[in-house]
Structure 1
């Protein structure tokens, strides 16, 4: 599998940010009010979320640089949801300005890191700055697809799909093991249970399925003990924001 270095991750963040900004630049006022690929969310909701996560991750790094920590979102998941709902109805001009400013802020703080800065601890998933960079990469690439402009999972890169295989191994139910078999590539095993299911198809289709998105190329097939079966159920997306009680 592809090894993602900090230098490579920074390149990917810039590339993903350019895609998101480019999509937003082409929207009309009516476009942002239209449904996205996420149930119950307009494109305005998705843009508000992208703005929120980019600012939140930038804040993680800004505090880490001072040897301090702060929660990803004020008031946890409830605060995140409230902020998205409040910003979703913004005008096109407001959305563009918010997205551009948030992406510029995030790229600036990631770009200013030295070698040790990538290993500074942050609150997000009790990880380090590098984990935050991977998270922002996931958010930008996947939500660019969720904006529903025809840029589907078939555009996801091999390094990104392989990263999702690793990160989303947490979605394999206990007692199960998935043998992911991308066409023309070596298999990847996730999970460690005794019940084995082979999921074969195009690399991007497998990644889309794991990410809870609709595969673009329709190539997926699941087998167990050499018999065709339904695609196995997945556990929820691994939560990065704690739910307030």
Structure 2
């Protein structure tokens, strides 16, 4: 199995975007108003989040390419406000935003030089990472939220992109939670463990986790 390279991650991100858009292309107002596994979020919220995330990662691509500090979001409040504005767009405009944001991010990543891939940028969580990590950040968002949109189920994602699924902590099928003292080892089928690790499902006997993405 190949390692977690930027090329691998870009392939997974592209897969997630294709699956997301394949479902969203036919959505009208009623479909976008439907709920998702994320508490309080409709499909419109999810689409606006994914589009805004692509544009925000594009800010980090600009940072890597130019050296000009360009944060993903001006503030957490600005991030949430952008999602709220986006989810209120007409259905066709929201779908277009998702599609065009993917195209912009792809073009920006394509233009990075080998040196720029190593440029340090700061994520929305405050972590300093090389630009080479950006495709992985996008892959997580695109693939997990394709599942959330009900474009596919988790076991289909595991079959379509097994290398992505196996990049969950400690190999994806056995996870020892960090923390002080002895912690329980969580074992489950890959789709169930992936859902647990991203805050979508609880596993009996496992410590509770909040949503990560």
> TM-score of the superposition, structure 2-length normalised?
0.86
**Which is richer in helix?**
2
Distance 1:72 1:181 in 2: 28
Structure 1 residues 9-66: Cα deviation after superposition (integer angstroms, max 9, x where no partner): 2222222221122121132331011112211111111101011000010121012201
Cα deviation for residue 189 of structure 1 reads: 4.4
Alignment root-mean-square deviation, CA:
2.4
Residue 21 to residue 181, structure 1, CA distance change in 2 (3 Å): closer
Distance 1:40 1:192 in 2: 30
**Which is richer in strand?**
1
Quick check: which has more Rg, 1 or 2?
1
Distance 1:231 1:238 in 2: 16
Distance 1:213 1:53 in 2: 19
Correspondence 1:77-92 to 2 at 5 A: 77-92=76-91
Correspondence 1:135-150 to 2 at 5 A: 135-149=137-151
Cα deviation for residue 238 of structure 1 reads: 6.0
Q: Is the contact made by 2:12 and 2:143 (CA closer than 8 Å) also made in structure 1?
A: no
Cα deviation for residue 164 of structure 1 reads: 2.8
Correspondence 1:115-134 to 2 at 5 A: 115-124=114-123, 125-134=127-136
Number of the residue aligned with 1:152: 153
Q: Is the contact made by 2:64 and 2:119 (CA closer than 8 Å) also made in structure 1?
A: yes
> TM-score of the superposition, structure 1-length normalised?
0.76
Correspondence 1:54-69 to 2 at 5 A: 54-69=54-69
Cα deviation for residue 193 of structure 1 reads: 4.1
Higher relative contact order (CA 8 A, sep 6+): 2
Q: Is the contact made by 2:176 and 2:183 (CA closer than 8 Å) also made in structure 1?
A: no
Correspondence 1:29-48 to 2 at 5 A: 29-48=29-48
Number of the residue aligned with 1:206: 193
Q: Is the contact made by 1:65 and 1:117 (CA closer than 8 Å) also made in structure 2?
A: yes
Distance 2:187 2:50 in 1: 31
Residue 21 to residue 212, structure 1, CA distance change in 2 (3 Å): same
Q: Which runs of 5+ in 2 are unaligned?
A: none
Distance 1:137 1:188 in 2: 21
Partner of 2:167: helix, strand, or coil?
A: helix
Distance 1:64 1:114 in 2: 10
Structure 1 residues 110-163: Cα deviation after superposition (integer angstroms, max 9, x where no partner): 1222333221111212212122221111111111112134x2222233322333
Distance 2:114 2:64 in 1: 14
